[in-house]
Structure 1
Amino acid sequence: MVTRARARAVAAVALALTTAAAVWWLGAPALPGMGDPHPVQGGAAAAPAGSLALPSSMQGTDTGFFARRQATGADRTIDPLLVDGLRDTLETLLLEAGNANDPAALKQRLATLIGSHFPAALATRALALAERYVDYRVALGQLRAPQDLTDPRAVRDALEARHKARLQFFDGAEYDALFAREAELDRYTLARLEIARNTQLTPEQRAQALQATDSELSQEHRTGRSAATEHMAAAAQTAAFNTQNADPYTRHAARSAQYGEAAAHAMAQLDRDEQHWQQRLDQYSQARAQQGEGAALQQLRLQLFSAEEQQRVEAALALRTLQPPAATPGAR
């Protein structure tokens, strides 16, 4: 059953799906102003388009990113620095340090912040790791995401190139702490893509290959994938309701039957929240078109949006230009 908290995640999933394709393979955006993007260089020999990527237990002599064994908790020597969430902490540090076109200047800022995120006993090591993380992010600026994320060969080359960039700056234990979980999902995603694009497979062979690929996922990722699938299904259902101008009664009946009464009420509140948000965006956008920038528009912005919402306004308006007009939730 979808709980109220999980139902609220639908909105985030729907937004993430509109932008994830552009940056998913990098794992994190390159630092602004540091390095111009270039085509991916080198990389492992790419599999032909439509070739079958089998789970690691079924592969032959694959090398590099696709042969790397994911470390398990039992395999790792306990290291107080290399813990879950390390990468999130480093990303938070970069956000706090702010934009900097000069990596050296950014590293100086990190030195002043490191103590607020790591204990004194780990500060020296943590700073050294953070500085290499800056260099790694600069290196990502030299790579270009595949133009077609449905092309297995392009995705495979890109993943291998990113893997090589990571190995330039981090040893095995650091790599596992920072990237192992993501790398498992990347291999899984590519395997499913290659299976789907392999026209030589019969339906039965495709089903067997997909099942074998699923079995390679850790229990943690299988659970997360199941939840994400549920969220995306709910988001797709809401999008269909909006396209059809479905009324609140129709929405509630379908949702309560599929997800339960509590979740249906929570999703109805999401509909109302989204409708109110879009109405305020309409009002603000129309005022901007009529009167342009100025003190009056700024005053209207303060009246219409909370401090947190104001940070989303420009992105929401920009997103509108990339999408066809959508029906208002529950409108008739």
Structure 2
Amino acid sequence: AHAEPNYFAFVRSMEGTKPDGDIKTAPGDQLVVDAELGHLFDYYLAGLGEKDLAAIKAEIERELDRRLKPVPAAAAKRLLASYLAYKRALVDIERDLPMNTDLAQSARNRLEAMQTLRQRYFTAAESAGLFGATDANDLDTVERLEIGADKSLNAEQKRQKLAALDEKMPAALRAERDAPSQVIRLEDAVQKMRQGGAADDEVYRMRAAALSPEAAGRLAELDRDEADWKARIQRYQGERGKLLAAPAGPDGDAGRQAALQQLRDAQFKPEEQKRLGAYE
């Protein structure tokens, strides 16, 4: 097993993050080619503009060497070279796609062009591993756009076709799609519980049952942070109001502005002060 590294941000915009991609190997030192490998590549490629492509490629290769044994690392580096070549070619393909005012047709043309292009750079198994999940999501979106744009269907027929898409949607994709609305429904329920006088431990148990104990713990921490922020804002607004209502001192408006900044500095970190404009 590899020791957890002490990461330093590859580029400034990645400060405080760790590389994406839970890359794995199968028995016999075989590289598992799946979406996680693409996530790792994309994590570093997001730094393009802050670093040049050669530096990014070298950093990805160092990360692959750190995580993998030599044989799967070599396979991953070969795929990285193919991935970068594919991304470069994709820019030209997308530029040359015909303009189309039909959103559904335009989306389908782009998806099919991408899938055709990949055949030059990846085996069918590699394409399925790297892009299968995003293709399923993109195809589902295209089909929904096509149903919505089909003027030969009435509202009930569209509803039935959309329901059929829901039925054939992979479970993982459905869970990803439904996750935001599930959280919204859950937090609506939490709000009603709190209005009814529910204690924090009751809210925690309900969230833990709906999500997981870990997620419930993170949400409880967010609740505490939000409550602390609201209390600090309320205190700040009260003290700020007093400063603004008081007669100006001998330094006039400059003195008042200095006092207001001193108040901000006393109660908020510099990065927090960027949010204060919404409350002033």
State the TM-score, normalized to the length of structure 2. Answer: 0.54
Q: How far is 1:121 from its partner?
A: 1.7
Match of 2:178 among 226, 238, 241: 226
SS in structure 1 at match of 2:119: helix
Q: How far is 1:117 from its partner?
A: 2.6
Q: Any unmatched runs of 5+ in structure 1?
A: 1-77, 239-247, 284-289, 328-332
Give the fraction of aligned pairs with identical amino acids, expressed as a percent. 24
For the pair 1:114 / 2:56, whether they are aligned, the reply is: no
SS in structure 2 at match of 1:212: helix
Q: What does residue range 21-40 of structure 1 map to in structure 2 within 5 Å?
A: none
Q: Any unmatched runs of 5+ in structure 2?
A: 1-28, 209-215, 237-256
Match of 1:209 among 146, 158, 161: 161
Q: How far is 1:200 from its partner?
A: 2.8
Give the partner amino acid of 1:189.
Answer: T
Change (3 A) 1:234 1:80: same
Distance in 2 between the 1:234 and 1:146 partners?
Answer: 44
Change (3 A) 1:268 1:184: same
Give the structure 1 partner of residue 128 of structure 2.
176
Distance in 1 between the 2:181 and 2:61 partners?
Answer: 41
Q: How far is 1:206 from its partner?
A: 1.6
SS in structure 1 at match of 2:31: coil
Give the partner amino acid of 1:119.
Answer: K
Distance in 2 between the 1:249 and 1:217 partners?
Answer: 32
Give the structure 1 partner of residue 269 of structure 2.
304
Is this contact kept in 2: 1:280–1:304, CA < 8 A? no
Distance in 2 between the 1:228 and 1:205 partners?
Answer: 27
SS in structure 2 at match of 1:169: coil
Give the structure 2 partner of residue 8 of structure 1.
none
Larger helix fraction of residues: 2
Q: How far is 1:105 from its partner?
A: 4.5
Q: What does residue range 101-140 of structure 1 map to in structure 2 within 5 Å?
A: 101=52, 103-140=53-90
Give the structure 2 partner of residue 58 of structure 1.
none
Give the structure 1 partner of residue 147 of structure 2.
195
Q: How many residues align?
A: 212
For the pair 1:90 / 2:41, whether they are aligned, the reply is: yes
Distance in 2 between the 1:100 and 1:79 partners?
Answer: 31
For the pair 1:155 / 2:155, whether they are aligned, the reply is: no
Q: How far is 1:106 from its partner?
A: 3.6
Distance in 2 between the 1:279 and 1:162 partners?
Answer: 51
Is this contact kept in 1: 2:61–2:77, CA < 8 A? yes
Match of 1:252 among 194, 207, 218: 194
Q: Deviations over 1:259-313 (max 9, x none)?
A: x8445796686466347568989x9xxxxxx79xxxx99x959x627xxxx6xx7
Q: How far is 1:170 from its partner?
A: 1.8
Q: How far is 1:172 from its partner?
A: 1.0
Q: Which has the larger radius of gyration?
A: 2
Give the partner amino acid of 2:140.
Answer: Y
Q: How far is 1:178 from its partner?
A: 0.5
